[in-house]
A and B are shown apart, each in its own frame.
Chain A
Amino acid sequence: MSPELTVVLAAVALPFAAAAVTPLLFHVLGERTGYAGGAVAACCFGLLASQYGAAGTVELAWIPSLEVTLRFTVDGWALLFALLASGIGVCVFLYSPAYMHGEPGLVRYYAALLAFMGSVIGVALAADLVAIFLFWELTSLCSFVLIGYHTDDDASLYAARMAMFVTVGGGLFLLVGFLLLSIVAGDALGPAAAFDLAAMLESSDEMQRALREAGLFVPVLGLVAIGAATKSAQVPVHFWLPNAMAAPTPVSAFLHSATMVKVGVYFVGRVRPLLAGLEWLLLFATLGLATMTICAVLAVASTDIKELLAYSTASHLGLITAGFGFTSVLGAETGVFHLLNHALFKAALFLIAGIVAHEAGTRRLGDLGGLRHDLPITTLVTVVVALSMAGLPPFSGFYSKELLFEAAVEAGHVHDIGPLEWLYPAVAVFGSIFTVLYSLRFLSLFFGSRPAPLGEVSIHRPPVTLLAPPALLAALTAVFSVDPELAVRAIVQSGVDATAVSPHEMHVGLPTAYSPAVGMSAVTIGVGFLAYPFYGWIHERIRAFPRTLPPVSSNWWYDAVVDGLTDGGAWLASRVHNGLLRTYATWTLATTCALALLGFAATATIVPADVVGLDAPPEAALVLLVAVAAGIAVVRSESHVAGILTLSILGFMIAIFYILASAPDLALTQLVVETLLLVLFLLVIEEIPEYDEVELGNVVRDSVLSIAVGATAFVTVLVTTDARPAETTALARYYAEQAVPKGGGTNIVNVILVDFRGFDTLGELVVVALAAISILTLIIMRTGGDSE
């Protein structure tokens, strides 16, 4: 069965449309808007579910000139992710009205949440690189708005900006990667396939060969990895995710389980068939296992329940990345199955964390404990999902973790990777021990005795709308724990088919015989339980580490970069724009001269072939010599008055030169201008301070600059007069011949000014008018006008 375009489009567009009308909805429904959101999410879920079993690509023209199309692929992998986004969306929307009761800014909250869901469904289904990027960036944008929900809380603003900076910054790398892909695809598969990811995946062998031939395989792989790693909070850019816990808890539940951070790993799975190979393995398995381990360790160091869950999310995303990193089919099975499991248990855990914070009034791990008496149902729900997170048999998380262990062991059989052959499994086990530890710690909130600070608080049972969503997710987890093959048959197998290089039938279940993976699981769980009594000691040791060595904390790097940029920006701006016109003029003139002289040098015209003008009449030479002498005198003059008077000598010499060159009009103009300038100068001279001592450095700078400017003007005039065509130009001949018949005047200059080029003169008249207006404006605004 092939997918329906209208249904797919509706599933993507519906949340956006709903987001657009949220202000209206809220006006009518008030806080019950959350239930309307839930209905929208349910509709999307239904629409997507109607495509269950479909496979294929549908498209809608968008920008034909660029071969950009709104193209959507429906397959098991896309449906799994889109169904998760909309299904968990239903839970989050149903949970929100009770949790967010009485908060301000709910219009923005629900609108962003709806758009968020729509963007994720979009990423899941899109099969055009530009369309994917569109939805990809929209998820970053929506999470910015949602993380910054508490707009007067500094921690929220800090976290929102950090998330935006990291994920949109990472998006830039992804965009470059996409463009390189599209260039190769356009050549290898034809221009129509330039952005068509579905076509690239269909011809993945050919694409990979073309990429390697173009030498772009590793760059594309690296760029896609950066984009995915920033989105999915992989080490070393994981730090934005724990900070993002500043968001309201329902947002965290959504963001961590089935939306924002899953987008990265989802896409890694999506392009896996296209880019898989040894480089892929080395990059993603290493990245994923490092993230899985480091973030599990950091989760143990957490003091806040949301912080613990946030690091845990990063760790599990590392697990999924590592799974996809292993190129065997087991790797694909790990990634797909764990994405499903993690979405279910992590959404539930965040919603539980919200209940705990809501009812107990604190999120500090140290202040919580023994909640099972007050929250019995919540406790039961937590046991299921927390043990799934720990990877304990027979809970669903166990099966996907077993798959990871198997894939890690098998990695060495597929590729020759030297010592990594045993290092990968070892690291996977080491990281998983910490997973067991922090999962048990989370469970301990409900067991043991109530710590003193909590003693006085009366804890109410949560309303059913808060409890039902996590309970539903836990129930699903329980079902998949009891019968994992059900999940495989329902959707995981088809997800594996889409992400595996050579898919085959998948089976999971409780182990019946010994295998290395079983041994690894036994070690993980055994050591985890044995180490749990020492949790406090381990927790303190890890926490002490960044205190003694700040740079091991990623926040430290982020702060260093951002603060450095802010301070550096202020410093740079004050250095570059130092408020001294002479600095500005120096740079402007020096660059102009350098450009011009280099331009002449580049064409070897800087020295003219033969120097013209040596036959100038002696009177012209005399006038010019006087002008030069006056120029020298200006710079040597002791006072302003002397300087101005000598300057006017220069001006008058130019006027005389014009007379000698048979241009009396110009000479007259020059004389008028010179006279006026002289008068004006003498009028304002009183206001100008006398010369100070000038520093030698400035003298040198000014001299060099003056000489450069003079040389540039000199060279320009010299080479262009040298290049001047020998004969009178057609223009000159035309003006001479047509001045009388067309212009009715015998003075060619006048005719040119008012007739042939009267349009120029019109413009110049405007300039004169503007000059007059400028004077009026300055006077008016300074005396009586508005000033700010």
Chain B
Amino acid sequence: MPVGTPSDLVIAPMLIVLVTAVLTLVLGRRPRARVGVSLVGGAGYVLAVTAIAWYVVLAPDAPGIATYQVADLPAPFGITLVADGLSAFMLTMVAAIGITSLVFSARTLPELDRRSYYFPLFHFLLLGVTGAFLTGDLFNLFVWFEVMLMASYIFVAYYGGAQHTRAAFWYVALNLLASAVFLLGVGGLYATTGTLNMADLARRLAEPAAYGIDPGPVVGLLALLLSVFAIKAGLVPFQFWIPTAYRSAPPQVTAVLAGASKKVGIYAILRLSFTIFAGAQVGVDLAVPGVGTVVAGTSPLAFVGAALFVMAAASILVGGIGAVGRSSLEGILAYSSIGQVGFIAVPVAIAATTTAPELRQLAIVAALVYALNHTLAKGLLFLSVGAVRSATGTSQLADLGGLAGRSPPLAIAFFVGSLALVGIPPLSGFFGKLLVFDAAARAGTMPVLVLLVGGSVLTIAYTTRTWNRSFWGTRTAAVSRATVDPVKIGVLLALTGTILAVGIGFEPVYEFADAAAAAALDVEGYVEAVDPADPDAAGGEQM
């Protein structure tokens, strides 16, 4: 295979972050060099992701999907990396928040990196996230999950205080449970289908008879995996680690945890449910004595949809109501993240439940656009909190007040971030809200619309409270002393501008999301691109 094809691009972002991580690690005690390498690596990452998005998905003659067979071993025997619209969309989100947070971190260096390993960890975190978005192999997904989690454990424990260590311990404990469940699910799938390659899996599940497999257990196995991904995404009742972990990690890392790591959970749900399991030929029929049929359908999606509806509703309520009562900025944003991921899960549930192809496509677009806005807005807000904390030494509402008068640009950033969460047009958040509401309206499910409206009212309640308590109001002593670093302000305003630009110039963003949704639903295209060897099929070629 010639070097320089879209195929080679697929592995480029992973290589870049891996090399950057190792370099920053070996550079040891030369902080300036470390920051330099880190920023160059970050820029390279953005370039690589942009190249993938353009050459694989967006360019007029783009193939739509590209694969890289690691070590040139044919699928399904080696490990396959796949970049399609969905992966590219997710990576673009990660690149946007990743580079922003990185520049922000560089400015916070004196506080963060005296003798420790902030930058290597940051790049390893990106490596895990990127690997998860690109891999086409289920066990390999597990590996990149572990990389991502291991790096985030350390970030949660980073400041080393008692509360940070405790938060990290809870985080580790719950995620280790998840890892065990993940292994159980992956092992079960391998036992059932005889493969770990996702494309191979999709093909076998669609024609179980041809491969002599019994797809019956896959719904239960998918349920196991769904729990794992729900933990990553922080859906209720798997959200317990979020409030403390998001409060403990450095805010600029939390921006990435909320903006990127969380989305890995959403991505995995989309990829597994729609690209891999959607075609599984298995009837679902769950009846409760006395109630009748609760869930019924001809594919595992019916089950996924029902489970996601319940989790999404609980997330919106717990996150939204909880956020109104919090007393610190991080606390509010952490609860808000629980609620917002519910808003992302609602359209995913709609997509899983419906049988109409247009609505399914629309609902996934809605989820993706909402996720994009959450990454940008929540990233901006967490970075703003980082700036507030550096400047004032606190993030408690009780100690804040009058920040708007002290730093108008910081206030503008926080205001726009909050409004994007509320979904005020023409910010990116509005289109997320519009599409999610549209999907719910088209699905015609009244309780879901009520839930969405109610959840959005909660968002208004907590954002306005936060604003009044910290940016308006009487200026406190902590705020009077505050000075905000101009470079950080620049970073925040750049992200603010992005949120505005995504909304005003929504057409290309929509097209990208539409391509991503189409890719998520294109089972045949995915299988064809990976093209796993097919020796098991009845009458298939022999090696």
Contacts and interface: CB of A to CB of B under 8 A. Distances in A.
Interface of A: 62-66, 104-105, 108, 130, 133-134, 137-138, 141, 144, 148, 151-152, 154, 157, 160-161, 164-165, 168-169, 172-173, 175-176, 179-180, 182-183, 562, 565-573, 576-577, 581, 583-585, 587-589, 591-592, 595-606, 712-713, 715-717, 719-727, 729-731, 733-735, 737-738, 742, 755-760, 763-764, 766-767, 769-771, 773-774, 776-778, 780-782, 784-788
28 contacts: A138-B424, A141-B419, A164-B464, A169-B456, A173-B453, A179-B438, A576-B322, A584-B173, A596-B221, A602-B220, A602-B303, A603-B218, A606-B220, A717-B188, A720-B187, A723-B217, A729-B195, A730-B194, A756-B71, A758-B71, A759-B70, A760-B139, A763-B143, A770-B150, A773-B117, A773-B120, A777-B116, A778-B157
Given A66-B510, A152-B475, A770-B121, A165 B77 contact: no
Given A605-B217, A757-B79, A573 B335 contact: yes
The winner among B157, B433, B514 for most chain A CB atoms within 10 A is B157
B358 to A, nearest CB: 11
Interface string B117-139: 10011001001100100000001
Given A175-B434, A759-B140, A569 B217 contact: no
Given A587-B240, A777-B154, A780-B115, 11 more contacts: A130-B434, A152-B474, A161-B465, A566-B324, A572-B318, A573-B322, A588-B240, A596-B220, A603-B217, A769-B25, A770-B150
Majority-rule SS of B interface residues? helix
Top 8 closest pairs, chain A to chain B, by CB: A569-B325, A570-B325, A781-B160, A599-B223, A729-B194, A600-B220, A599-B220, A763-B143
Contacts of A168: 422, 424, 460
Given A161-B468, A587-B240, A724 B533 contact: no
Interface of B: 18, 25, 70-71, 73, 76-79, 111-112, 114-117, 120-121, 124, 127-128, 131, 139-140, 143-144, 146-147, 150-151, 153-154, 157-161, 164-165, 169-170, 173-174, 177-178, 181, 184-185, 187-189, 191-196, 211-224, 226-227, 231, 237-238, 240-241, 243-244, 282-286, 295, 300, 303, 307, 318, 321-327, 335, 389, 402, 404-405, 408, 419, 422, 424-426, 430, 433-434, 437-438, 441-442, 449, 453, 456-458, 460-462, 464-465, 468, 472-475, 506-507, 510-511, 514, 533, 535-536, 543
Contact of A735 (B77, B131, B170, B510): B77
A365 B492 CA distance: 48
A571 B115 CA distance: 40
B159 A787 contact: yes
A113 B147 CA distance: 51
A571 B402 contact: no
Contacts of A602: 219-220, 284-286, 295, 303
Contacts of B115: 780, 784-785
A763 B472 contact: no
B154 A724 contact: no
A577 B322 CA distance: 10
Contacts of B408: 108
A596 B224 contact: yes
A161 B195 contact: no
A161 B146 contact: no
A568 B213 CA distance: 51
Nearest to A576: B318
A570 to B, nearest CB: 3
A546 to B, nearest CB: 24
Contact of A592 (B70, B181, B424, B474): B181
The winner among A573, A589, A717 for most chain B CB atoms within 10 A is A573
The winner among B150, B300, B430 for most chain A CB atoms within 10 A is B150
Nearest to B422: A168
Contact of A183 (B153, B212, B442): B442
A172 B468 contact: no
Contact of A565 (B283, B389, B453, B461): B461
A756 B78 contact: yes
Contact of A760 (B143, B187, B222): B143
Given A157-B468, A759-B79, A786 B321 contact: no
Given A169-B457, A719-B216, A763 B146 contact: yes
A715 B117 CA distance: 43
B150 A584 contact: no
B288 to A, nearest CB: 10
B116 A572 contact: no
A539 B204 CA distance: 80
B122 to A, nearest CB: 12
Contact of B535 (A151, A604, A730): A730
B154 A773 contact: yes
A742 B73 CA distance: 10
Contacts of A773: 25, 117, 120-121, 154
Contacts of B178: 588
The winner among A138, A175, A572, A771 for most chain B CB atoms within 10 A is A175
A637 B307 CA distance: 39
A183 B440 CA distance: 12
B85 to A, nearest CB: 15
A589 B442 CA distance: 35
Contact of A787 (B160, B213, B321): B160
Nearest to B11: A759
Contact of A569 (B143, B147, B159, B324): B324
Contacts of A755: 71
B425 A130 contact: yes
The winner among B191, B213, B326 for most chain A CB atoms within 10 A is B191
Contacts of B220: 596-597, 599-600, 602-603, 605-606, 715-716, 719
B475 to A, nearest CB: 7
A148 B465 CA distance: 13
Nearest to B320: A569
A730 B533 CA distance: 9
A161 B468 CA distance: 8
Contact of A588 (B146, B215, B231, B405): B231
